[in-house]
Amino acid sequence: MTKITIAIDGYSSCGKSTIAKALAQKLNYSYIDTGAMYRSVTLYCLRNGIMDKKHHLDMDKLMKELENIVVDFKFNTHTKTSETYLNGENVEHDIRTMDVSNNVSKVSSIKEVREKMVALQREMGKHKAVVLDGRDIGSNVFPDAELKLFMTADPDVRAQRRMDEYSSHGQYFTKEEIKLNLNKRDYDDTHRKENPLTRAKDAIILDNSDLSKEDQLEFVLKLIADMQLTKDSVA
């Protein structure tokens, strides 16, 4: 089967990473969680006094420190998933906090941050056989990706999913708090100047409000199978 690039974009808590991880495992592809990369930069800013508790960002300090921020992924043979590393430290848990969620849109909107992360993403995915999820993968990072998905879901479903995710990590918030966070992130992501969240013209919409993980995986695998059959018939 021909190796392809799969680009998955969409709003927060729409299950992008869930379907991306499942596809990567099924196809034996690499998985790149681009959102985790921006979360890692945000975590670095919070830890190193570049951003304070009032969300003020020291741009001069960030520009000086940006070259010292190294984000990569390592495969965990026990969990069978890729995990995020910041300067050699596993931060998979630390980047999933509400504090990071409340600040990641601000950090990810910075041109220099996006340029560095996009360059890393393109390098990681240059040989294809890769699944990437994020906000601008199909529209900017890999505009020539063979398969592009744009994921969405009902706001209440998204909020419940995020609540469940936080609870699984021992973090507890009201649904209203989470909805406010998601609404703010949606606005920030779709209105930022640098590569805003938008659906690529050739992206297939996947509304998974009422779909199980298995249904979603089956849907996307069928898309891939149909693509391969089309290529074979044309050849």
Residue among 10, 3, 28 at smallest CA distance from 145: 3
| DSSP three-state, residue 74 | strand
| CA nearest to 158, candidates 184, 178, 137, 134 | 178
The Cα 34–Cα 214 span in angstroms is 23
Strands 204-207 and 147-152: parallel
Q: What would the pLDDT profile of 155-178 be if each residue is shown by its tens digit?
A: 999 999 999 999 998 999 999 999
Mean pLDDT, the chain, integer: 93
Mean pLDDT of 18-46: 95
d(CA 165, CA 168): 5
Report the candidate in 211, 213, 220 with the shortest Cα–Cα distance to residue 153.
Answer: 211
**pLDDT surpassing 90 at residue 69:** yes
| Distance of alpha carbon 51 from alpha carbon 44, whole angstroms | 9
Strand partners, 207: 152
CA dihedral over 208, 17, 227, 136, signed as positive or negative: positive
Element (H, E) at 31: strand 30-33
pLDDT tens digits, residue range 94-146? 999 999 999 999 999 999 999 999 999 999 999 999 999 999 999 999 999 99
> Percentage of residues in the chain with pLDDT exceeding 90?
88
Q: What is the pTM of this model?
A: 0.89
pLDDT value at position 231?
63
Vertex 105, ends 45 and 184: CA angle to 5°? Answer: 135
Summarize the confidence of residues 47-60 as an average pLDDT. 91
What's the CA angle centered on 134, arms 22 and 84, to 5 degrees? 70
Calpha distance 20→12 (Å, rounded): 14
pLDDT at 156: 95
Name the 3-class secondary structure at 150. Answer: strand
Tokens of 131: 């699944």
pLDDT tier at 205, thresholds 50, 70, 90: very high
What's the pLDDT tens digit per position in 132-156?
Answer: 999 999 999 999 999 999 999 999 9
In this predicted structure, what is the pLDDT of residue 232? Answer: 57
Amino acid residing at 63: M
Kindly list the structural domains of the chain, giving each domain's residue range(s) and its CATH number in brackets, ordered by start: 5-210 (3.40.50.300)
DSSP state of 149: E
